[in-house]
Amino acid sequence: MQMDDALDYLDEIDSFKRYGRVNRVVGLMIESQGPESSIGDVCYIHIGKKKKSTILAEVVGFKGENVILMPYTELNEIAPGSLVEATGSPLEIKVGSALIGKAIDSLGRPLDESSLPRGLTSVPTDQNPPNPLKRPPIHEPIEVGVRMLDSLLSVGKGQRVGIFAGSGVGKSTLLGMIARNTTADLNVIALIGERGREVREFIEKDLGPEGLKRSIVVVATSDQPALMRIKGAYTATAIAEYFRDKGLNVMLMMDSVTRVAMAQREVGLAVGEPPTTKGYTPSVFAILPKLLERTGTNEVGTITAFYTVLVDGDDMNEPIADTVRGILDGHFVLDRALANKGQYPAVNVLKSVSRVMNQISAPAHVQAAERLRQFLSIYINSEDLINIGAYKKGSSAEIDEAIRLYPLITAFLKQRTHEKISIDESIQQLYRITGKGD
């Protein structure tokens, strides 16, 4: 029987290598005559006359009988007639527990230029989302260690949340707090399109040694080709899926999904797609649901995901923000006005929502959170009258109560960067402020 299996396997092996030749390079795009390949296949482009080397590229389209490729690295030294070798398979990376504590690139190579550890497993970066009927409902909270989130915007194991923010409002700091304080078994952090300076700063300052020792960081900086930035998101998701399938509760953090969309727009425009909504090509809106739906629950484990979304000019209705908000299970909005007041994390509680909070929290907890939101809303709506002295005490019992509670609420919403607070302690503090509880 084993011999029959071996013979069947040998019959399936393609013993031929397929080659083509580069005949044109335009911008980001390489056009070659051959080889026979499919969309998503990886190819090697052989370059150099004296010192032979190869460039990895991916098939992204076809033009007549020619193959359109995009490189994972720079186009240097590619010349007319350069040999293109087809691998016949999509990109795969090596994954395993030995990667924990390391920073890698989009192809799974350690950034410190060390060799890959032994005993890793090959997995494809592009996979299908779980069957929707095989996704268990989210019924259990996960502790993120940020008081305002655990108490007012509770996150469930397997929930997917968007963090919407303009530049410089504190999203990287918030991600670092979550990575250090969460009770998840493992963090997978994707830094997509970041400045090179910020990568080490995030790892050493925001994440810290405590966070790094149970994290895998995937880095694709802004200077890298568009395909590397896209693959950074796919690689990080594939790593999270691998550990989820081992039964772990994984925390995936991607900063930012907007830069993934921008990279896909570059690819789409290069292969001839028409620009549609604000210059984004149709493929951008096709890949976003597929990428974001890969996370969440399955029959074995969970991936709790946080995706940051850059909102240009703090416009929450721009195309990528609007699309992502419609796919995810909640959104946290970072408000520049709160950051300017020195309130960190600068999450605007009244504009944010967790769509699974009612399913995972006790009724008393939900009531207390609603009560705090109510008093915060009452105060903010009356703030101008209060500040100019036009409001007279005793005119409204609700406003009087909101004025009394406002200093306690603002203190509750603030948290120092390296301050860790358990979810039970956060909820008890919420009960003390609102007078609601068990």
Predicted confidence at residue 10, as pLDDT, reads: 46
Predicted confidence at residue 53, as pLDDT, reads: 85
**How many Å apart are CA 265 and CA 269, to the nearest integer?**
6
Is 364-434 the same fold as 99-360? Answer: no
Amino acid at 233: A
Q: What is the mean pLDDT of each run of 10 residues along the chain (438 residues)?
A: 57 66 87 89 85 86 89 84 90 93 93 88 93 92 95 96 89 91 94 88 88 93 92 96 96 94 91 85 94 94 95 78 93 92 92 95 95 95 85 88 94 92 94 79
Domain range 99-360, CATH architecture: 3-Layer(aba) Sandwich (3.40)
Predicted confidence at residue 137, as pLDDT, reads: 94
**How many Å apart are CA 74 and CA 288, to the nearest integer?**
26
Predicted confidence at residue 346, as pLDDT, reads: 93
Predicted confidence at residue 161, as pLDDT, reads: 97
Predicted confidence at residue 174, as pLDDT, reads: 93
Q: What is the pTM of this model?
A: 0.91
**Would residue 168 be called left, alpha or beta, if left means φ above 0 and alpha means ψ between -120 and 50 degrees?**
left
According to DSSP, the β-strands at 302-310 and 160-165 are: parallel
Predicted confidence at residue 7, as pLDDT, reads: 57
- For the chain, domain boundaries: 16-90, 99-360, 364-434
Predicted confidence at residue 438, as pLDDT, reads: 53
Predicted confidence at residue 360, as pLDDT, reads: 95
Nearest to 294 by CA among 246, 245, 360, 333: 245
CATH for the 16-90 domain, from 2.40.10.170, 3.30.300.20, 3.10.20.740, 2.60.120.200: 2.40.10.170
Phi, psi of 328 (to 5 degrees): -80, 175
**How many Å apart are CA 203 and CA 188, to the nearest integer?**
12
With respect to CATH, is domain 364-434 assigned 1.20.1270.330?
yes
Residues 6+ apart with CB under 8 A from 21: 32, 33, 34, 81, 82, 83, 84
